[in-house]
Structure 1
Amino acid sequence: MNVLPVQQPAQNWFFRYKLYHLPFWFFYHYLWWVVTLGNPVKVLQSLAVLPYALKYSFYVIFQAMAVYFNLYFLIPKYLEKSRYALYLSYLLLTVLCATLCIVGGYYFSAFASGQTIYDLFGQSACFNTFFSNALPSTVASTTLAMSIKLTRNWIQTRQRQQLLEKEKLETELKFLKNQFNPHFLFNTINSIFFLIHKNPDMASNSLAKFSDLLRYQLYECNDPQIRLSREISYLENFIELEQLRQNSNVTVTADIELGYANHLGIAPFIVMTFIENAFKHVSKDGDKLNWIRIKLSLEGQQLKLVVANSTTAGQTQEAVHYGGIGLKNVQRRLDLLYPGQHSLTIQQDSRSFNVTLWLNLTEMAQVDRLQVA
C-alpha cells in the first residue's frame, strides 16, 4: 500500500519559519525611526520612496539576522554553557558586523537611486554619521530580543520546576500513604488473630467490621480529601474492633462529639494513625489498670484530637522510635498537606503517652471544586 506524503498546512509553515516575526520587525524599526525623526507621517512617506525603503530593509534584515544568530546560536552554545568571555566576544563581533552591513545599506541605496550620498542623505552624511545611527539601533534590538528570550526561558524553567516539585510532592505523599497502609493492615489482622483465640463467637462480627475497614481503605479513601463524617465512621469501627480484642484490664474511653461534620474534608488516615498507635503501645500491666482515652471535638472548622494511653518507660520509647512508622509518616503528611494549618504536640513520661492535634479543615465543597479544576 502506498502512503502519500502529508502536506503541512500553511499555518504550520508560518510558525515553523517564524514568519509571524516579520510584522514585529517592521513595527519595531518604524517606532525607532519615529523616535529618531520625531514625525510619524514623515517616516511613512520616506518608507514609500525606494531609496529610503531600501535603506530601511537593510536595518530590518541585518538586525534580524544578528538577533536570531544570537538567540539560536550564541546563547545556547556559549551563554547557557557559562562560556561568558567567548559569548561576549562573539556578541560584540556580531553587533559590529550587522552595523557595518547596515551602513553599507546607505551607500547601496544611493548607488541604486543614482544619487550621491550627500544628495540623498544631506551634506552631513558620512560613515561616522551612518555608523552612529546604526549602532544604537542594532544594540537596542539585540538587547530587547535577548531580554524577551531570557525572560521567557526563566518563566518556562520556573514553571517546569514547579511542575517537578508538584510531581515530587504527589509521589512522596503516595509513597507515605502506601507505606502506612500495609502497616495498618498488619496491625488489624493481628488484632483479629487475637480475637479469634479469645472469643471465637465474636469472629464473625470482627471480620464484618474488618471487611468494612478494608473496603474503605481500598476504594473510598483514594482521594486527597474525604468527608470528615466518613473518616469518623471508619474510626469508630476501628475502635470497636480494637476493644473486642483488648484484655479486661484495659479501659477505653472514646468521646467523639462532632455534630454535623459532613461538610468538612480531611486527608485520609491523619487522625487514625494516632489512635492506632495508642492501641498498639498501651501498657499491658497485670497488676494495675491500663487505659486509653480518646477525645475528638470540632470547633467551627478546627478539629481537635487528644489521645492518651497508659504505658511504661520502655514502651514509651518504643512508641516514639518504632511507633514509629505510623507517627513519622503522619507528621510528614501533616507538614505536606497542612502547612501552617496544624499544631501537633507529643508528650511522654514513664506512665503515659499523650498526643494533641489541632487541625484546620476545609469545606468539602471547596475541595470538590479544587479537584474538578
Structure 2
Amino acid sequence: MENVRATTRPALWLMVSIILVALNLRPSMAAVGPLLSAIRGEIPLSFSLASLLTMLPVMAMGLAMFFGIGVSQRLGEQRTVVLSLLIIGVATASRLWLSSAAELIVSAIAAGVGIALIQALMPALIKSRFGNNVAVCMGLYVTSIMGGAAIAAAFAPLVMSQTGSWRMGLAAWAALALLALLFWMAQRQSIPPLPAQTPRRESFFANSRAWLLAFFFGLGTASYTCVLAWLAPYYVEKGWSEQNAGLLLGFLTAMEVISGLLTPAIANRSRDRRLVLLVLLGLIMAGFCGLILSPQHFSLLWPCLLGLGIGGLFPMSLIVSLDHLDEPQRAGGLTAFVQGIGYLIAGLSPLIAGMIRDQLGSFEWAWWSLTAVVALMMVMVLRFDPRYYAKHIA
C-alpha cells in the first residue's frame, strides 16, 4: 500500500490524533511526584513504595517491546489504540476513589499496560503511514510524549489547590485520554488498514553490540525516570511548595521538548554522533552536580541543563542504534530489542533511588550515583565509531 502523504487531510487528522495519543503516555507518572507529599499525608507510603508508581509502568514498556507488537497484530492497530486509551483513561480516573497504597500501585500498573501497548505500536504505525516524513513525525510523537509529562507536572498541583484534592490532581488527566479517544475514533475510518505483515524473527540476544546499545539506552533513560519520579519531592523536602516543585519539573520537561526537537537536527550533519552524545552527557552531569552542591541557588539552571541533556539523549540513543544497520526491518528489530532491555533497566532506577532515600535520608546520594552512571556512559560513547558499525553488529 502506498504511504499516506503528509499533505492529505486524512494524514493530517491522523498526525493530530497521534499527538493527542502521545500526550497520554506520561501524565499518570509525571503527576505523582509533585503531589507526593500530599499523598503521603493521607496514605502510608515509603519512598521505596512510591517509586513503584514510576518503576512499574516503565518496566511494562520494556516487556511490551517483546510482546506488544504481537498483541497489535492480533487486534489490529486501530483497536489496539482504542483499547490502550480506554485502559489509560479508566486507570487514571479510578484514582478519584483511592484509599490505599495498593490501589494506587494497581492503577499505575494498569496505566502502564495501556502506555506500553501504544508505545510498542506507534513507531511502526508512523513508519508505515508516513514513510516520506518519518523523522518529522517521530519528532512530533516523541515531543508530544515529553509535552504530556510537562503539562501534568506543571498543572497537577494547580488542580489540587483549586479542588482541594490530590486525587483530582491525579485523576484529571483522564480527560486527555477521552479527548484522544474521540479524535482517534473520528479519523479511524478515513485511512484503510494496512495489509498483514509477517512479524520479525531475528533475535539480537546473542549480539554483544546490541547489548551495549541496550545498556546505553537503559542507563540514559534511568536518568529520565529518576528525575521524573524524584525531582519534585526533592525540592519539596528543600522547603518548596508542591506547586512550585511541579512547575520546576514542568520547566525541565519543556527543556526536554526543545532539545528533543533540535538535537537530532544538529546531529544529522555527521554520521559520527560521539561529540553530540558527549555534550549531552556533560550537560546531564553538570545538572546532577548542581542539584547536589547548590540546589537552592541557580535553581532554574540545573533543571535546564538536565532537560537539555536528557531530552536530546533519548532520540540520539535510538538514532545511534538505527545507524548500525541499513536495512529498515533489521534496524527496527534492533531498536525494539534496545528499548525492551533498556526500559527494564531504566525502570529500576526510581526504586533504587527511593531505597537510597529511605536508608540514607537524602536524595543526594541518588544524584551522585546517577552522576557516576553518566561518567560510565561517556566511556561507552567512545565505542560508537561509525566506521566499525558493520563489524560490531555482524
TM-score (norm 1): 0.24
Bigger fraction of residues in strand: 1
TM-score (norm 2): 0.23
Larger Rg: 1
